[in-house]
């Protein structure tokens, strides 16, 4: 729900463009002294008097003033920090319509930014919209292997290991059979090292899956061999052909895995809804559906998890969210991109898992 609000916030601010570098963006990290930020903005007001364009100067000073007055409403910096934006958004040049916006992000801010530009600086907020799910990435060939973590769209390299596998050309005097045994032995040792790294980095139960890629058949030999422990093998969700190893290989693996990653999110939704429909068939007293029915139960604190279709209008979603917060009820937003999601729409776009069983005549 926080991410939904953040997405709407970003979409609104993306609609505004400054005529010059006059839109002000300020990011305040968590635990940062609000008074220091206000003093900094007061200093920037003084600096803005040096702007050559009188209209731009006027707009920047007015925006900073609105922002300063807005920040004075906060007794302290919110727990996750604060992102604040201000600017003249009048449709006609020469007119003044200075507005200010602020949002506490869903996860802590660790950057401090002050910038005047033609656009609001929104990249730090956009990064927060990426999925929280974590995946493992491995690219390898007979020469090297790279192991990384994927958070959202961000690849975090973890380690790199190289092999001692000799090239395909034999050294003088070596028989083909002996040379082949050398290659096979070195390959096995290399695979063992890669497997050890994977056990080290990919044993966390929270890891959503592992994707392996690389050029040629090496990746398949590695996956199909008896090197990896079963619990690691069970986490492998895809094996992809990529042309490289190293950073380029990891980037290519990510590009070629978009289908798999989106399917994982869809699978999560489908599993949740299938659990709901199964409960509806076998234990109808443990679940409920329909806008009025579920809201009535929500008011009584009886809802453990709320399922809201993205097809609902904003006003209804906000109404349910506000009431859910009163009783610490979990909220799951459900798309209509699956047959189960469409079923939820047909049920009235709202469903719930209950904290305790409710008889039909109690609803």
What CA–CA distance (Å, rounded) separates 112 from 102? 15
pLDDT of residue 291: 96
Where in the sequence is the domain holding 279, given as residue range(s)? 263-362
Question: What distance in Å separates the CA atoms of residue 335 and residue 8, rounded to the nearest whole number?
Answer: 16
CB 17 within 8 A of CB 133: no
Which band of pLDDT confidence, cut at 50, 70 and 90, is reported for residue 144? very high
Last residue of a domain, one of 201, 236, 256: 256
Please check whether residues 250 and 268 belong to one and the same domain: no
Q: Which of 127, 144, 161 is the last residue of a domain?
A: 127
pLDDT in tens, 283-337: 999 999 999 999 999 999 999 999 999 899 989 998 999 999 999 999 998 988 7
- Please indicate, yes or no, whether residues 250 and 211 belong to a single structural domain of this protein: yes
Cβ atoms 158, 201 nearer than 8 A: yes
- 111 and 141 part of one domain: no
Structure tokens at 32: 């940062």
Q: In what order do the strands lie in the sheet with 209-214?
A: 154-162, 144-151, 134-140, 209-214, 236-241
Q: Let me know whether 209 and 276 are in one domain.
A: no
- For residue 169, pLDDT over 90 is answered with no
| 179 plus 238 within the same structural domain | yes
Residues contacting 199, CB < 8 A, separation 6+: 229, 232
Do residues 322 and 342 both lie within one domain? yes
**How far apart, in whole angstroms, are the C-alpha atoms of residue 291 and residue 144?**
56
Chain position carrying tokens 């200075």: 98
Q: Is the pLDDT of residue 96 over 60?
A: yes
Number of domains in the chain: 3
- Distance, in Å, from the CA atom of 182 to the CA atom of 167, rounded to the nearest integer, reads 11
225, two tokens = 């061999």
Summarised one tens digit per residue, pLDDT across range 104-140 is 998 889 899 999 999 999 999 998 887 667 899 999 9
pLDDT of residue 337: 72
The alpha carbon of 361 is separated from its chain's Cα centroid by a whole number of angstroms, namely 42
Structure confidence by residue, pLDDT tens digits, 187-218: 899 999 999 999 999 998 889 899 999 999 99
> Which strands sit side by side in the sheet containing 98-103, from one edge to the other?
98-103, 82-88, 23-28, 113-117
Which contiguous run of DSSP H or E holds residue 332? strand 330-334
- Whether the pLDDT of residue 171 is over 90: the answer is no
Question: pLDDT, tens digit, for every residue of 234-277?
Answer: 999 999 999 989 999 999 999 899 888 877 777 778 889 999 99
pLDDT in the model for residue 168: 63
Q: How many CB atoms lie within 10 A of CB 162?
A: 10
Residue 165 to residue 153: CA distance in whole angstroms = 33
- Residue 242 sits in a domain whose CATH number is 3.30.420.60
Q: What is the CATH number of the domain that holds 106?
A: 3.30.960.10
Terminal-residue alpha carbon distance, the chain: 26
Mean pLDDT of 154-179: 74
**CA 241 from centre of chain:** 25
CATH code where residue 286 lies: 3.30.1330.30
Quick one: 108 and 165 in the same domain? Answer: no
User: Binning pLDDT at 50, 70 and 90, where does residue 5 land?
Assistant: confident
Position 2 scores a pLDDT of 77
What was the pLDDT predicted at 91?
82
Q: What is the pLDDT of residues 19-72, one digit of tens each?
A: 889 999 999 999 999 999 999 999 999 999 998 999 999 999 999 999 999 999
245 with 312, same domain: the answer is no
Helix/strand/coil percentages in the chain, nearest 5? 45, 20, 35
The reply to whether 138 and 228 lie within a common domain is yes
1 versus 306: the higher-pLDDT residue is 306
Distance CA 3, CA 18 (A): 26
Residue 178 and residue 246 share a domain = yes
Last residue of a domain, one of 256, 275, 310: 256
Residue 326 CA to residue 301 CA, distance in Å, equals 8
Q: Are residues 267 and 345 in the same domain?
A: yes
Whether residue 296 sits in one domain with residue 247? no
Give every strand in the sheet of 303-309, ordered side by side.
287-289, 350-354, 303-309, 330-334
Q: pTM (2 decimals)?
A: 0.58
Q: Which residues of 304-330 are buried (b: 16+ CB within 10 A; e: fewer)?
A: bbbbbbeebeeeebeebbebbeeeebe
């Amino acid at each position: 729900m926080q991410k939904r609000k953040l997405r709407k916030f970003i979409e609104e601010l993306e609609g505004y463009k400054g005529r010059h570098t006059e839109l002000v963006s300020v990011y305040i990290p968590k635990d940062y002294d609000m008074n220091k930020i206000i003093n900094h903005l007061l200093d920037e007001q003084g600096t803005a008097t040096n702007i050559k364009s009188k209209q731009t100067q006027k707009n920047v000073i007015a925006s900073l003033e609105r922002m300063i007055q807005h920040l004075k409403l906060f007794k302290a910096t919110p727990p996750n920090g604060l992102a604040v934006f201000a600017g003249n958004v009048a449709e006609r040049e020469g007119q003044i319509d200075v507005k200010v916006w602020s949002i506490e992000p869903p996860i802590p801010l660790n950057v401090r930014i002050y910038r005047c530009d033609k656009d609001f600086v929104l990249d730090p907020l956009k990064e927060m919209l990426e999925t929280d799910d974590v995946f493992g990435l491995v690219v390898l060939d007979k020469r090297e292997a790279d192991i990384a973590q994927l958070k959202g769209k961000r690849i975090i390299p973890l380690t790199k290991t190289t092999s001692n596998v000799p090239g395909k050309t034999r050294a003088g005097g070596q028989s083909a059979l002996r040379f082949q045994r050398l290659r096979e032995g070195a390959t096995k040792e290399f695979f063992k090292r890669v497997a050890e790294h994977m056990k080290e980095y990919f044993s966390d139960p929270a890891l959503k899956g592992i994707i392996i890629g690389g050029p040629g058949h090496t990746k398949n030999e590695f996956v199909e061999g008896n090197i990896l422990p079963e619990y690691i093998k069970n986490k492998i969700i895809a094996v992809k052909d990529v042309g490289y190893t190293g950073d380029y290989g990891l980037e290519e693996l990510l590009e070629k895995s978009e289908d798999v990653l989106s399917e994982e999110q869809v699978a999560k939704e489908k599993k949740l809804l299938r659990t709901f429909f199964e409960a509806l068939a076998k234990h109808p007293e443990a679940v409920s559906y329909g806008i009025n029915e579920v809201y009535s139960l929500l008011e009584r604190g009886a809802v453990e998890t709320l399922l809201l279709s993205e097809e609902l209008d904003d006003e209804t979603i906000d109404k349910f969210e506000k009431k859910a917060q009163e009783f610490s009820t979990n909220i799951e937003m459900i798309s209509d991109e699956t047959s189960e999601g469409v079923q939820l729409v047909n049920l009235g776009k709202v469903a719930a898992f209950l904290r305790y069983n409710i008889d039909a005549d109690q609803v």
